[in-house]
Structure formats: C-alpha cells, structure tokens
Amino acid sequence: GTTPKPVLTRAAGPTLGALGATGALTVPKLELYRASTVIESNTGWTTAANSTALAAAAASSGAFAFAAGSADSAILTTLAPGGYTAIISSGAGAPGVGLIEIYDLSAPALGQNLINLSTRAIAGTGSETLISGLIIGGTLPKRVLIRAAGPALAPFGLTGLLTRPQLTLFAGNTPVVQNAGWSTSPDALALAAAATRVGAFAFAAGSADAALIVALAPGAYTVQVTGVADTTGLALVEVYELP
C-alpha cells in the first residue's frame, strides 16, 4: 500500500511458561529492523514509555495479556509500507522457546494489507516445533501460499538446515493439509507460479522443501514445521497472501 500502518509486535517468554509451555525464554529481547537498521527495541514491556498503550493495543487485538512487570517484550509503532524484520533473542544469554506476534491495528482498507510473514528458527520436536499462526479476517475465504524452506536456505550461506521439512496446516487441533516435498504435490506447477507472483525465492525442482496453496475461510490457523522422521534443523516458514 501507500499509507503507514500501526503495528503491535510482541515477544512472549515468561507468559508462555505461565500458560504451561516448558523451556520458555526468561528474558526475551525484541528488535525491529528496517533493512540492517534497528528502528525499535524492547526488553521488558512495562519498561517502555508507552506501556499503557501497549496493554490497550494487545486488548483491542485480542492478544493474551502480559502480566504487569513481566519480562515479555513489545513494540507499538507506525510503519511505512515496505519490508521489516523482527528478531527475538535471549536477553539473559540462555536459549529457550519464544513466541513472536505481529498484529495489524489498522482498519481494513483496500490494498493496505500485511501480505507476507516469514519466520526463521530451529525446527525441533515437541515443545520446540516451529509453529506459525495466522488469522484470516473478513467474511470471504482467502488464498494463501505457505512454504517451509530447509534445503533452499543453503545458497544463502546458512548451515545446520532442516533437510526434509514437513509442513502441516491446522484449524484448531485438526490437521487440514500436509506436504513434505513440494514438487511431489499435484499443485507443483501452481506452487512455482505462485512463488514467482509474490516475489518469493524459487525452490529447486525436486528439492525437499515443502509448500501448500490453500483457500482459507475466515478464522485462526497454525502452521507447524517439523522434520521427516523427527529430524531437526534450521528452517524458514513463510505465509503469502495471494491475489
């Protein structure tokens, strides 16, 4: 689009532990980048000057509340159209499980959408499964391209990759569709064309990277990336809105 958009970005750690998650980050540090420049950062949401606005934004977007004084982190800012990167890391040096969230706080407007979300992390097993969530708003179904890159990350100089990513889309606790090896899908040609259309980097023919095209009714969904045969490694999960 052409209009700046108010966005709430959050990094949950301690609150995940309170909700029953094990091995959660104790001090999540949140940084928001435009290209290679840090434009905002936070460690401990109640230390922010706009902590009252952060709590109000979380409530209005339907996000679960962070406890007052918790070490969970959040950033509320208005972003111009373009690409941004949010990084969650450990402010205490110890690794752990974290949740990063991005909420579009603006009213729906034609041509003013979040069109792509991607997350790079270690895809493990159990509580360390790489999970991405998305919410489809409005009243009509929306077509999305969902991808899990493992081998395709090698040309970017990354190591320790998930060699055979498996991608599963859930509605609630119910698996909807799954893929492991995008070119084995009957939609392989459509997947390649959709990736080109949205500007995603190409997956090599026959690679073990995974992808899906699906029309989703309004509602909440999760995407889980795991390794075939319980393998683990670095992976990238992407969600693109298709025109």
Q: What are phi and psi of 60, to 5 degrees?
A: -70, -25
- List C-alpha distances in Å: 84 to 3, 77, 79, 168: 15, 12, 9, 26
Helix (H) or strand (E) segment spanning residue 9: strand 5-12
Q: What is the pTM of this model?
A: 0.88
Q: Residue 115: its pLDDT value, please?
A: 82
Q: Up-side HSE of residue 110: CA atoms within 13 Å toward CB?
A: 0
Per-residue pLDDT in tens (0 to 9) along the chain, 243 residues: 889 999 999 999 999 999 988 999 999 999 999 999 999 999 999 999 999 999 999 999 999 999 999 999 999 999 999 999 999 999 988 899 999 999 999 877 666 677 899 999 999 999 899 999 999 988 999 999 999 999 999 999 999 999 999 999 999 999 999 999 999 999 999 999 999 999 999 999 999 999 999 999 999 999 999 999 999 999 999 999 998
Fold of 115-243: Jelly Rolls (2.60.120)
Domain boundaries, the chain: 1-107, 115-243
Contacts of 29 (CB under 8 A, 6+ apart): 11, 41, 42, 43, 73, 88, 89, 90, 91
